[in-house]
Structure formats: C-alpha cells, structure tokens
Structure 1
Amino acid sequence: MLTLNLSIVFLLIVVNGFFAMAEIALVASRNARLQPLAEAGNPGAQAALELKANPSRLLATVQIGVTVIAILSGTFGEATLGDPLQRHLESHEGLLARYAHVISMAVVVVGIAYFSLILGELVPKRIALLHPERIATALARAMRTFARAGAPIEWFLSTSTDLVLRLVPLRHEGAAPVTDEEISFMLREGAATGHIHQAETAIVEMALRLGDRRASAVMTPRTQ
C-alpha cells in the first residue's frame, strides 16, 4: 500500500512537471521556427502557435493545472504518508513519540516540496529551455485539449484578472517592435553559433546602418 501511495504522489509530481515544461517551452519557443513547421502541416506547431497567440489563456491553463496538482499532492501525501509515519514514530519512546505528528508532517511536506521543485519544476523547465520548439510541438496539443476542457474556469480567472488590472494604473502598449540593435544582436548570436556566416552578418549590419546615413554622404559630386 505504501508503494502505491508513493507512486501516486510521484505521478502527481510528474504531471506538475508536464505543465511546467509546457509553459516554458511555449514561452521560449520562437514563432519564426514554429511557423514553417505549422505551414508544413505539423499539428503540434499549429497548436503551439494557437496557444502563444493567447498568452492569458496559456497562463490560466498552466496555473489551474499547477494549483490543482499542488493541492492534490499535498493533501494526498499528508493523508497517506503522514499517518503511517506518525504511527511509526509513536511506537518509539521519548521525543519522537511526543512530537510524532509534527515530525511526520514536516518530513512529508519537506519531502514532497523538494521532489516537486526538482522533478516538477526545475528539471522540466531546464529541459524545455534546451529544446523549446521540439517540446512545444510535442506538448501543445495536450495543453490545448486541457485548455478547452477548463475553458469556463479559465474565462472566470481571466475575467477576474482583467478586472484587477483595471485598478492598476498600467498602460497596455502592445507588442514591442524589433529594433536594429536586437537584429544585430541576433545576427551576432547566430554567427557565434555558426548558423550565420560572418559575411552575411556584416552585409545586414551595413544595410541597417545605411538607413541612418544621409544620401549626400554617399553621393559623388558631378565634377568628380
């Protein structure tokens, strides 16, 4: 019975890792890499672009999943793992028996929290950062299905969030435009990894600088 209970807690932590991995992969993935896959008929890429187009829906979906899993793992773990440990401690004499309840709860809570952080958060997120597009296309359809199933709850949470944000004096400015500096940085990053040739980087950077120059600066007088 103890093995079954531990397996259920482990399964809940893995499900939490699924949501964490999907969230980071979808946020970190680039539309420029997903779009060609979607145009080629990849259903995972199409679902990923659909979720990325509505970030509020994505965040609500992830938050619902993570919150439900956290409640279930904590409640189930305390009920099924804490009680046997408490009874075991009470069979001993001294401080262990006196503080059996506190010790058992502390061990269960700390244990579940530790494995939830490692297996349910940090490891999945780091994997997602290493291969964002691959993982996003693999998990997006499952996330979209979950989002559709929890649509009423998501709508309620999103509406409540919007109402709270209206009370905060923040101005929505939309998507920030890509600047010349960002393009140059991406070019240099691509050149450093070998995906873009140095000559191509130099040509594009010169073309970007050309827009800041006056025409007279490159004109040759007729007398010459």
Structure 2
Amino acid sequence: MTALLLFVTVLLLAANAFFVAVEFALIASRRTAIEPLAAAGDRRARRALRAVGELNLQLAGSQLGITMASLGLGAVAEPAIAHLIESGIAGVVELPEGLLHAIGFLIALLIVVFAHLVFGEMVPKAIAITHPETSLLRLSGLNRLYVALFRPVLRVLTAMANAGTRALGVEPRDELATIHSADELARLLHESREGGILGETAHQLLAGALRLGRRDLGSILVPPAAVVSLTQGDTVAAAEALVVRHGVSRLLVLEPGGRRVVGFVHAKDLLDLPTADHDRPVPDSKIRKVLVLDRASALDEVLVEMRRARTHVAAVASDGVFVGLATLEDVLESVVGDIVDESDTGEVAPAAPPGG
C-alpha cells in the first residue's frame, strides 16, 4: 500500500510541475514567435496560438490543476512518507507512539514541502520562463485534452473570476498586450544593445527611426536666410548666376517679400531659354510646383509625403508663411547621422557664407 501511495505521490508531483510549466509558458510566450510556425503548418503551434487566445480560461485550468495536485500531495504523500520514516525510526530506537508519529509527520512534511517547492514549482517555472515557446509547443497537446475535459468547470470559474475583476474596476482580457509604445520600444532597443543582441550601428538606426515620429519638421529645416532662392520676377540671368555661384540644380522661387513659396526652377530648364530672354523674368512656365509641408509635421509623415510626391525637397511653411526648406537628406540624417556625398551641396543648397 505504501508503495502505491509513493507512486501516486510522484504522479501528483509531476502533474503539479506540468501545470506550473503550462501556466508560465502561456504567460511568457510571444505570439510573434509562434505565428510563423503556425503559418508554416505546425499543428502544435496552431494549438499553442489557440491557447494563448483564451488566456483566462487556460490559466484557470492551470490553477485548478495546481490546486488539485497540491491538495492531493498533502493528502497522499505525507501519510506514506511518514509511515516509512516511523518504521525506520522504530527499528532503531523505541519511542512513545505519540512522539514517533510527531517526528515522522514533521520530517515527512519537510520532505513533501521541499519536493513540492523545488520539483513541483521552481524547476518547471525556470524551464518554462527560459524556453516559453518551446515549452508551450511541447505541453499544449496534453493540456488541450485536460482543458477539453474540464472546460465546463473552467468556464464557470473564469466567469466568476471575470465578474470579481470587473467589480474591482478592471476589465479582464483574454490576451496579453503585445503592442508597445515608442518609449517601450526604445527601452527594449537599449536593453538589446546592452545585452549584446544589437550592435551599435543597428541600435542607432532603429533608435533613430523611432525618433522620427517624435520630431517635427521644424527641427531639421534650413532657415530662409540660408536658402538659395529667387524672387518671382527675377531675370533668367540672375537665376543662372545663382546656379553657377552656389552649384545647385534647383532654385526656390518666392513671392516678393519672401513670405510665400511659388515653386522652384530647375537649372536644366534655364538652358532651354534663348539668349534674348536672359534679361527677362523667368517665365512662369519654367516654374515647377514644389511640395509644401507644415512646420509641425512629424518627420515620419514627411518621409511618406516626400515618397508619395517623388521629391527630395520640400518647402516648409507655418500658417502659410515660408519658414525654411527641408530635404530628404535632412530627414535621413535624423536617423543615420551626417551623410556626406561627393559634393555635399544638395538639391537646393544653403547660401554661401559672406566672403565664401
């Protein structure tokens, strides 16, 4: 009889370890790590995803299993082990029956608590936390059968727990939050770099990309005083002189007073004009449209707008008034740092400093 009780004790200890491992694997597993396996046809991964999708019910199953296994250990293991200890002590020294039972009970209790804590709780928890997805894939099949068997009971327990949670002002959810804010992603990137998972270059690129949405166009614009520009009505000769002097291929065209943007002139369009037109104003037909963006625009939105317009240059305005210029290079430099090309002049360059 004692041998049978000890065998049942081992089974209950294993069951406790199983449910603990399932519980922590469910909590620690990432959907993003399991979904590719499920998409590739892995049946275990599909089962695991279904389990993660009904987290409250699955955790209720684990808790019920742990509770039943723990109660069973207390009822079965202690008497069986205490009987063995009492028999061993009685064969060595003669003690009063009450004292013998007390010693046997105390030692048996310590053994059961130790085995339950270490092998039934800590070891499976450590394994599940270290390899959550692998643990969940391996355990999801057997756990699925268990949950299917006790599903009616688990639904009742889950409903009662959800009602209690709502009474405390908290809305229960069936899935763990997997969406991170920009600040959380930045911390994850920092931790990944500190842990050696990300190199310095990769960290800078990813961190810079995250900062795009937090910075506005005003943080990178070239101020009006530093922009090479024409005033509407300036002559072709004046435009050509600016192109030669500053080595740019495009000239911004502003209304008189410089408050509003008209468009831009491309240097190659000036070459098509006859010599007789050099002293005449640049024709309106040669002034192309320019992308105008608001100063408060986030840099990630600016990148999208420039890509949609297929342009490397945008005028920047605030309440319709010209306040500067921004280039695609300026936006990219906010991510990757300074970019130096062969000429480093840009499409619409800043004005040369006095005496330059």
Q: The TM-score by the shorter chain falls in which range?
A: 0.7 to 0.9
Q: What is the TM-score of this pair, normalised by structure 1?
A: 0.86
Tell me the distance in 2 between the aligned counterparts of 1:167 and 1:136.
32
Residue 209 of structure 2 aligns with an amino acid whose one-letter code is A
Task: Give the Å deviation of 1:115.
Answer: 0.2
Tell me the distance in 2 between the aligned counterparts of 1:98 and 1:138.
48
Task: Give the Å deviation of 1:150.
Answer: 0.7
Residue 28 of structure 2 is matched in structure 1 by 28
Instruction: Number of aligned residue pairs: give it.
Output: 222
More strand, by proportion: 2
Residue 65 of structure 1 aligns with an amino acid whose one-letter code is G
Point out 4+ residue stretches in structure 1 off by more than 6 angstroms.
none
Tell me the distance in 2 between the aligned counterparts of 1:192 and 1:138.
32
Residue 53 of structure 1 aligns with an amino acid whose one-letter code is G
Tell me the distance in 2 between the aligned counterparts of 1:121 and 1:83.
25
Task: Give the Å deviation of 1:87.
Answer: 5.6
- Give the one of 184, 189, 192 matched to 1:190: 192
Distance 1:195 1:41, change over 3 A: farther
Tell me the distance in 2 between the aligned counterparts of 1:98 and 1:194.
61
| Local SS of the residue matching 1:108 | helix
Does the aligned pair in 2 maintain the 1:184–1:205 contact within 8 Å?
yes
Identity %: 27
Tell me the distance in 2 between the aligned counterparts of 1:101 and 1:180.
62
Tell me the distance in 2 between the aligned counterparts of 1:85 and 1:171.
50
Moved more, 50-59 or 197-206: 197-206
Residue 200 of structure 1 is matched in structure 2 by 202
| Local SS of the residue matching 2:170 | coil
**Structure 2 unaligned blocks of 5 or more:** 229-349, 351-356
Tell me the distance in 1 between the aligned counterparts of 2:178 and 2:79.
49
Tell me the distance in 1 between the aligned counterparts of 2:186 and 2:73.
47
Residue 156 of structure 2 is matched in structure 1 by 156
Does the aligned pair in 2 maintain the 1:44–1:138 contact within 8 Å?
yes
What are the residue-to-residue correspondences of 1:29-178 with 2, within 5 Å?
Answer: 29-86=29-86, 92-94=93-95, 96-168=96-168, 170-172=169-171, 175=177, 177-178=179-180
Tell me the distance in 2 between the aligned counterparts of 1:76 and 1:106.
15
**Structure 1 unaligned blocks of 5 or more:** none
Residue 93 of structure 1 aligns with an amino acid whose one-letter code is E
Task: Give the Å deviation of 1:90.
Answer: 6.1
Tell me the distance in 1 between the aligned counterparts of 2:87 and 2:116.
25
State the Cα deviation string for residues 57-111 of structure 1 (Å, max 9, x = none): 12111011111111222212234333454466567534x5332232222222221
Task: Give the Å deviation of 1:167.
Answer: 3.0
Residue 187 of structure 1 aligns with an amino acid whose one-letter code is L
Distance 1:173 1:79, change over 3 A: closer
Residue 212 of structure 2 is matched in structure 1 by 210
Distance 1:120 1:2, change over 3 A: same
Does the aligned pair in 1 maintain the 2:162–2:172 contact within 8 Å?
no
Tell me the distance in 2 between the aligned counterparts of 1:173 and 1:85.
48
Q: What is the TM-score of this pair, normalised by structure 2?
A: 0.57
Tell me the distance in 2 between the aligned counterparts of 1:24 and 1:124.
9
Task: Give the Å deviation of 1:192.
Answer: 4.3
Task: Give the Å deviation of 1:4.
Answer: 4.2
Moved more, 46-55 or 82-91: 82-91
